[in-house]
């Protein structure tokens, strides 16, 4: 059903065409307006200027995009894994849930941008502080949603399983995990978006590579066309990651497969 697929922003061919048409129209209008008013490039570069910059400096953008992508893939994977493991632990034991509650909230309450410099002091400008920040950004939505999903299995279902002497593992394997999957994917979608933001934030604070670094570099030099080009790549990167998680969800989550919401 289309209602289900639209929710994950999985686009059908027809919808994709419409989106492309709309974006194309916007770009044309932007180009025409900036030509008409003779906008200086440092104020608002035209789409053509941005495109030229993208083509001309293609290898540089690719290098930095790859750096950011690496950070995101490692940090996002770590974040999702951490979120799932914490959710399982907290759903298994009320003691663990109580103990972890406040520390976990603290990781979300503290201003991560402000502690990024501390992480850089501790771990240098390499991969480690980035992975840590992205993990902090991405584990939380996965944890909250997966925990809700693991608790979504009703008492009667558990009782039914116990009435046929099902093992604890069977209850997880056949009931709790499939029941939690749709919730888990809601968390993953949020985490995917958050991890891109996390990567840019930490690169912004201090880094010698990555799209966030490139962005602040160009902005400080008033290379607005190049800053916009960087943004375009960043947006494309985000959408790709988002589309990949949506594709995984369509394959693995039964609510999507059956068109249920």
Partner 1 sequence: MTPIVALEGIGKSYEGPRGERTVALTDVSFAIHEQEFVSLIGPSGCGKSTILNVVAGLLPPTSGNVLIAGNVPQAALDARKIGVVFQDAVLLPWKTVVENAGFLLMIAGRLDAAGEARVDALLQMVGLAEFRHHYPHQLSGGMRQRLSIARALALDPLLLLMDEPFGALDEFTRHRMNVELLDIWSATRKTVVFVTHNIAEAVYMSDRVIAMSPRPGRVVDDFRIDLPRPRTKEVRYTREFNDCVVHLQRLLERDEDTTP
- For residue 102 the two structure tokens come to 């406040």
Range 35-68 burial, b when 16+ CB lie within 10 A, else e: eeeeeebeeebbbebbbebbeebeeebeebbebb
CB of 152 to partner 1, least distance (A): 11
Q: Which of residues 30-49 bind partner 1 (CB under 8 A)?
A: none
- For residue 21 the two structure tokens come to 């048409």
Looking up tokens 């999985």 gives 10
**Cα separation of 145 and 187, whole Å?**
5
**Cα separation of 261 and 256, whole Å?**
7
- Residues 6 or more apart whose CB falls under 8 angstroms from that of 72 comprise 134, 195, 196, 199, 237, 241
**Cα separation of 25 and 47, whole Å?**
12
Count the residues of the shown chain that bind partner 1, applying the rule CB under 8 A.
Answer: 19
**Cα separation of 179 and 36, whole Å?**
57
Helices and strands counted in the chain (H then E): 13, 0
From the list 87-95, 222-230, 240-248, 252-260, the region that binds partner 1 by CB under 8 A is 252-260
* 21: contact with partner 1 by CB under 8 A: no
From the list 13-21, 71-79, 165-173, 213-221, the region that binds partner 1 by CB under 8 A is 165-173
- For residue 243 the two structure tokens come to 């589309």
* 157: contact with partner 1 by CB under 8 A: yes
CB of 163 to partner 1, least distance (A): 4
* 232: contact with partner 1 by CB under 8 A: no
From the list 54-62, 95-103, 155-163, 198-206, the region that binds partner 1 by CB under 8 A is 155-163
Burial class (CB in 10 A: 0-12, 13-18, 19+), 166: middle
- The CA angle 84-78-10, to the nearest 5 degrees, is 75
Binding mask 167-206 for partner 1 (x = CB under 8 A): ---x---xx--x----------------------------
* 166: contact with partner 1 by CB under 8 A: yes
* 126: contact with partner 1 by CB under 8 A: no
- Cβ–Cβ < 8 Å for 71, 134: yes
* 101: contact with partner 1 by CB under 8 A: no
Nearer to partner 1 (CB atom), residue 39 or residue 157:
157
From the list 30-38, 131-139, 157-165, 205-213, the region that binds partner 1 by CB under 8 A is 157-165
From the list 35-43, 109-117, 128-136, 160-168, the region that binds partner 1 by CB under 8 A is 160-168
* 98: contact with partner 1 by CB under 8 A: no
CB of 255 to partner 1, least distance (A): 8
Q: Report the interface residues with partner 1, using CB under 8 A.
A: 154, 156-157, 159-166, 170, 174-175, 178, 254, 257-258, 260
């Amino acid at each position: 059903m289309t209602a289900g697929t639209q929710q994950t922003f999985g686009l059908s061919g027809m919808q994709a065409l419409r989106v492309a048409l709309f974006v194309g129209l916007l770009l044309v209008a932007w180009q025409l307006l900036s030509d008409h008013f003779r906008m200086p490039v440092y104020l608002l570069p035209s789409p053509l200027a941005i495109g030229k910059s993208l083509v001309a400096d293609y290898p540089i953008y690719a290098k930095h995009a790859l750096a950011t992508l690496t950070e995101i893939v490692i940090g996002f994977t770590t974040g999702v894994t951490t979120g799932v493991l914490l959710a399982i632990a907290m759903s298994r034991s009320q003691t663990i849930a109580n103990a972890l509650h406040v520390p976990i909230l603290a990781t979300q309450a503290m201003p991560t941008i402000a502690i990024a410099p501390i992480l850089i002091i501790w771990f240098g400008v390499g991969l480690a502080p980035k992975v840590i920040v992205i993990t902090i950004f991405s584990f939380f939505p996965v944890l909250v949603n997966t925990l809700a999903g693991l608790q979504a299995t009703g008492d009667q279902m558990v009782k039914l399983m116990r009435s046929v002497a099902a093992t604890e593992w069977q209850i997880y394997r056949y009931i709790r995990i499939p029941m939690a999957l749709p919730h888990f994917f809601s968390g993953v979608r949020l985490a995917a978006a958050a991890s891109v933001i996390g990567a840019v934030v930490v690169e912004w604070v201090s880094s010698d590579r990555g799209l966030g670094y490139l962005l602040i570099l160009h902005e400080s030099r008033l290379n607005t066309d190049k800053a916009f080009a960087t943004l375009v790549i960043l947006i494309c990167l985000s959408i790709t990651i988002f589309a990949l998680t949506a594709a995984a969800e369509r394959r693995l989550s039964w609510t999507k497969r059956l068109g249920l919401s």
